[in-house]
Amino acid sequence: LNLIDENKIDGKFIKNLDHGCGIPDKALFRKELPLMLEKLQGRKSFMQENSISYPCGNKVFTFKDVGDKFELEIKD
């Protein structure tokens, strides 16, 4: 954990030290999405209608869009 003083925040990416650090979603995705996609490259994901599954280790995580919520199913 790297603790910083609030006066050291540049305001460009991290805006404040509140929960979420005031980071805009767009900026977060612009910064982190390419790294996440690179890590997932070559992995198998199984897309079905209204759900997507990701194998990880010896488990499969399936996210389902059910009505107005998402459900997570974890299979060994």
- Domain that residue 16 falls in: 8-42
Average pLDDT in the chain: 83
User: What pLDDT score does 35 carry?
Assistant: 85
Residue 21 CA to residue 59 CA, distance in Å, equals: 32
Q: What is the pTM of this model?
A: 0.40
Within-domain flag for 17: yes
Give the model's pLDDT for residue 58.
Answer: 92
pLDDT (mean) for 32-43: 83
Question: Is the residue at 2 inside a domain?
Answer: no
Residue 46 in tokens: 């199984």
The total number of structural domains that make up the chain: 2
Do 63 and 55 form a contact (C-beta atoms < 8 A)? Answer: no
